[in-house]
Amino acid sequence: MSFGIDDLPVRDELRGKSPYGAPQLDVPVRLNTNENPYPLPEPLVERITERVREAARHLNRYPDRDAVELRTRLAEYLTKTSGYEVGVANVWAANGSNEVIQQLLQTFGGPGRSAIGFEPSYSMHGLIARGTGTGWFSGPRNDDFTIDLAAAERAIAEHRPDVVFVTTPNNPTGNAVSRETVLALYEAAQAAKPSMVVVDEAYIEFSHGDSLLSLIDGRPNLVVSRTMSKAFGAAGLRLGYLAAHPAVVDAVQLVRLPYHLSAVTQATALAALEHTDTLLGYVEQLKTERDRLVEELRATGYEVTESDANFVQFGRFEDSHEIWRKILDRGVLVRDNGVPGWLRVTAGTPAENDAFLDAVRELKKEQS
Ligand code: PMP
């Protein structure tokens, strides 16, 4: 028997657990991790190269620990796209929104504290909670994957969590959460005990509706988290950020590692922010493709959850894993998130989506 994890003195709560593991398979059409299918445009690649070359000249020094220029540009982006004015003091950035979430849980969760999410939702909220020693509660959803508000309010009152996650648009289901529901959850969370509400807007640029960013106004316990991984087509960059009351930005600095955002990351993100208009143009194409996927899947006889994201949840299947495998056999990788009866497909290029639609149409024929 070889030496393994269980032979090490790892923390009890990590024993027997699996790491986050979306398969990274070498398949012609990969529509499984909600990535943007469009490579960065060449003028942006040039600009990144220029900015990184300049940063390289100073790599003997630590980067700007507070990433002030980057946070200023992110604040401008948020203000421009939401119409709600935020400044550098409202914005914090880290290596992907996963790190933002980790920093929030290190600050507001931790041993003896707890967090809640309404599942199925983004599995990393619960996994990062565990990694930071934060207790985790799974709140309910309705059969159509909307949040069951009355049940959610009861769960908050019962568990009195320190952190409440609301993902909108939600992953993996795709549906958005209304402003009224988020406000009601915020009120419930404050009534139970002063707790932080984290609105995870990783996919908001793809939504038919607006960002809930302005909810931070007058609500210091509300945080909106964002990422450049999806709309900006820069998953490889690892840049996430949050907008909140300046006190929240001060608080997360208590746990962030010094110089956590490398100078190369900051330079690359700044270059991408100079090309926001082009990148958001791709978002419009992806929204059209997402709507086409919804329509065509329904026309083929599948059930589809309303989607405000760059992916679509479709079903229903008796054995979703078997269908996942059959789609993979046809050269298309989608995602089995373990939601019984459902699978998730990310909107790709028109050609990739055609390949996916051909595969699922074929399967439908086989089944009938
Ligand atoms: N939030 C949600 C809802 C997500 O789906 C993801 C990525 N799949 C993230 C956060 C993390 O994204 P990143 O760390 O790349 O910013």
Residues 179 and 149 in one domain: yes
Q: Quote the pLDDT of residue 126.
A: 96
Q: What is the mean pLDDT of the chain?
A: 96
Give the distance (Å) from ligand 1 centre to CA of residue 97: 6
Q: Which protein residue has the closest C-alpha to ligand 1 atom 1?
A: 202
Is residue 327 scored above 70 in pLDDT? yes
Per-residue pLDDT band at 366 (split at 50, 70, 90): confident
Give the distance (Å) from ligand 1 centre to CA of residue 333: 19
Dihedral sign (CA 64, 68, 73, 77): positive
Residues 221 and 299 in one domain: no
Residues 84 and 171 in one domain: yes
Residues 281 and 234 in one domain: no
Q: What's the Cα-to-Cα distance from 108 to each of 11, 57, 104, 200, 230, rounded to whole Å?
A: 21, 38, 6, 16, 26
Give the distance (Å) from ligand 1 centre to CA of residue 259: 22
Considering all CA atoms of the chain, what is the largest pairwise distance in Å, rounded to the nearest integer?
65
Give the distance (Å) from ligand 1 centre to CA of residue 327: 24
Is residue 354 scored above 90 in pLDDT? yes
Q: Are strands 196-200 and 135-139 parallel, antiparallel or unpaired?
A: unpaired
Residues 349 and 214 in one domain: no
Residue 6: inside a domain:
no
Give the distance (Å) from ligand 1 centre to CA of residue 166: 13
Is residue 219 scored above 80 in pLDDT? yes
Q: Are 270 and 241 in contact (CB under 8 A)?
A: no
Taking the CA of residue 85 as centre, how many other CA atoms within 13 Å lie in the half-sphere pointing to its CB? 0
Q: Which atom of ligand 1 is nearest to the CA of 122?
A: 3
Residue 36 Cβ inside 6 Å of ligand 1? The answer reads: no
Residue 34 Cβ inside 6 Å of ligand 1? The answer reads: yes
The larger pLDDT score, comparing residue 14 to residue 89, is at: 89
As a whole number of angstroms, the distance between CA 365 and CA 344 comes to 20
Q: Which atom of ligand 1 is nearest to the CA of 235?
A: 15
Encode pLDDT of 101-138 as tens digits.
Answer: 999 999 999 999 999 999 999 999 999 999 999 999 99
Residue 81's domain is classified under what CATH number? 3.40.640.10
Q: Quote the pLDDT of residue 20.
A: 75
Give the distance (Å) from ligand 1 centre to CA of residue 234: 12
Residues 197 and 167 in one domain: yes
Q: Quote the pLDDT of residue 208.
A: 96
Encode pLDDT of 188-210 as tens digits.
Answer: 999 978 999 999 999 999 999 99
Site to substitute for ligand 1 among 32, 98, 100, 212, most atoms within 8 A of C-beta: 98
Residue 341's domain is classified under what CATH number? 3.90.1150.10
For the full predicted model, state whether its pTM sits above 0.90. yes
Q: Quote the pLDDT of residue 267.
A: 98
> Span 233-256, mean pLDDT?
97
Q: Which three-class secondary structure state does DSSP give residue 271?
A: helix
Residue 235 Cβ inside 6 Å of ligand 1? The answer reads: yes
Q: Amino acid letter at 43?
A: P
What is the percent of the chain where pLDDT is above 70? 99
> Span 86-112, mean pLDDT?
98
Site to substitute for ligand 1 among 34, 121, 122, 165, most atoms within 8 A of C-beta: 122
As a whole number of angstroms, the distance between CA 140 and CA 137 comes to 10
Q: Quote the pLDDT of residue 13.
A: 82
As a whole number of angstroms, the distance between CA 112 and CA 117 comes to 17
Is residue 255 scored above 80 in pLDDT? yes
Q: What's the Cα-to-Cα distance from 334 to each of 75, 223, 338, 343, rounded to whole Å?
A: 34, 31, 12, 7
Per-residue pLDDT band at 17 (split at 50, 70, 90): confident
Structure tokens at 64: 């700007």
Of the candidate ranges 1-15, 73-87, 140-154, the one whose mean pLDDT is the lowest: 1-15
Which residue range forms the structural domain that includes residue 90?
Answer: 42-274
Residues 260 and 360 in one domain: no
Residues 193 and 153 in one domain: yes
Give the distance (Å) from ligand 1 centre to CA of residue 52: 25
Q: Which atom of ligand 1 is nearest to the CA of 230?
A: 15
Q: Quote the pLDDT of residue 367.
A: 80
Last residue of one domain, picked from the residues 274, 308, 340: 274
Last residue of one domain, picked from the residues 242, 274, 306: 274
Encode pLDDT of 28-85 as tens digits.
Answer: 999 999 999 999 999 999 999 999 999 999 999 999 999 999 999 999 999 999 999 9
Q: Which atom of ligand 1 is nearest to the CA of 101?
A: 10
Q: Quote the pLDDT of residue 291.
A: 98
> Span 153-182, mean pLDDT?
97
Residues 226 and 124 in one domain: yes
Is residue 23 scored above 80 in pLDDT? no
Residue 5: inside a domain:
no
Residue 337 Cβ inside 6 Å of ligand 1? The answer reads: no
Give the distance (Å) from ligand 1 centre to CA of residue 204: 11
Residues 132 and 264 in one domain: yes
Q: Which atom of ligand 1 is nearest to the CA of 229?
A: 15
Is residue 1 scored above 70 in pLDDT? no
Residues 32 and 47 in one domain: no
Residues 161 and 259 in one domain: yes
